[in-house]
């Protein structure tokens, strides 16, 4: 099973991805987590990505696509994966289509978590209060930038995947349990497991 979780920062993609991983024995591929690990390890990619991430902007498509392409080739992805935070631009979505084709793999579903901006701001503010801003891009200023970038560069993917008849929207403002149930029923209908 191969899925994309699409949605703005703070929509709950990470939380829902973790639940899907548990239920379906597939791996979660979060480009944000991979980049944060690269920053922490001080790799070339990490050095290039750090400032861009701290500003709430997007790391270049080339870097991201090559990270994902290599990651998908690893053995633990053979049972399937859930992409969390990727693709984030039309160019990334097109590159993903191409690389899946080359690897002879098919995408089963794109699930969009719909959440209003005002709720996202509240959620991130409380995450900052809870964690004391553990993530260096977790501050209100950066969040606003990340939201603007989402609307500008990532939201067009909704139309892109609608055009491929693969998009399923879920109300991401419902309680976590209810969101999971919506996702589970979509997966039961669309994915042959
Ligand atoms: P996230 O944890 O998904 O919110 O990602 C944190 C930051 O990592 C983003 O604000 C971007 O700077 C960068 N990032 C993560 N995924 C991508 C992607 N697919 N394309 C470009 N930049 C990304």
What is the per-residue pLDDT for 101?
A: 97
pLDDT at 36 over 50: yes
Position 100 scores a pLDDT of 97
Interval 131-177: pLDDT, tens: 776 677 777 888 889 999 999 999 999 999 999 999 999 999 999 99
Tell how far the Cα of 180 is from the centroid of ligand 1, in angstroms. 23
Residues 32-50, mean pLDDT to the nearest whole number: 96
Round to the nearest angstrom and report the end-to-end CA distance of the chain: 7
Specify the pLDDT at position 193: 47
Q: What is this structure's pTM? A: 0.94
Instruction: Identify whether 13 is a catalytic site residue.
Output: yes
* Mean pLDDT, residues 35-54 taken together: 96
Helices (H), the chain: 13-24, 31-41, 44-55, 61-72, 90-102, 117-131, 140-149, 156-163, 176-190
* 38, 68, 128, 138, 162 from 134: Cα distances, Å: 16, 25, 7, 7, 36
CA distances from 88 to 108, 152, 187 (A): 18, 10, 22
Name the residue of 35, 49, 71, 157 to mutate for ligand 1: max ligand atoms within 8 A of Cβ: 35
Per-residue pLDDT of 85-133, as tens digits, reads: 999 999 999 999 999 999 999 999 999 999 999 998 888 788 778 877 6
Q: Which residue has the tokens 């991201």?
A: 64
Residues with Cβ < 8 Å from 105, sequence gap 6 or more? 2, 72
Asked whether the beta carbons of 45 and 145 are under 8 A apart, the reply is no
pLDDT at 51 over 80: yes
The position carrying tokens 């993609």 is 13
What's the pLDDT score for residue 70?
95
DSSP lists the bridge partners of residue 84 as 5, 30
As given in the structure block, the two tokens for residue 48 are: 């290039």
Contact of 121 with 140, CB cutoff 8 Å: yes
Q: What percent of the chain has pLDDT over 70?
A: 97
- Mean pLDDT over each residue of the chain, to the nearest integer: 93
Nearest CA to ligand 1 atom 10: 56
How high is the pLDDT of residue 133? Answer: 64
87: CA distance to ligand 1 center in Å? 9
**Higher-pLDDT residue of 17, 129:** 17
* Whole-number pLDDT of residue 191: 67
Q: What is the pLDDT of residue 23?
A: 87
């Amino acid at each position: 099973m191969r899925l994309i979780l699409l949605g703005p920062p703070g929509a709950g993609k990470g939380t829902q991805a973790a639940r899907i991983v548990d239920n379906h024995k597939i791996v979660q591929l979060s480009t944000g987590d991979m980049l944060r690990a690269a920053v922490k390890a001080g790799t070339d990619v990490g050095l290039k990505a750090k400032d861009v991430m701290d500003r709430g902007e997007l790391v270049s498509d080339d870097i991201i696509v090559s990270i994902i392409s290599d990651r998908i080739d690893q053995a633990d992805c053979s049972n399937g994966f859930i992409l969390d935070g990727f693709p984030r631009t039309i160019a990334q979505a097109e590159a993903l289509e191409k690389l899946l084709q080359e690897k002879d793999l098919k995408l089963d579903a794109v699930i969009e978590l719909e959440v209003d901006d005002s709720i996202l701001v509240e959620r991130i503010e409380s995450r900052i209060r809870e964690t004391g801003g553990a993530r260096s891009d977790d501050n209100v200023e950066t969040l606003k930038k990340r939201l603007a970038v989402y609307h500008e560069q990532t939201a067009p993917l909704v139309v892109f995947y609608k055009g491929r008849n693969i998009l399923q929207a879920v109300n991401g403002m419902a309680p976590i349990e209810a969101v999971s149930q919506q996702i589970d029923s979509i997966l039961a209908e669309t994915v042959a497991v």
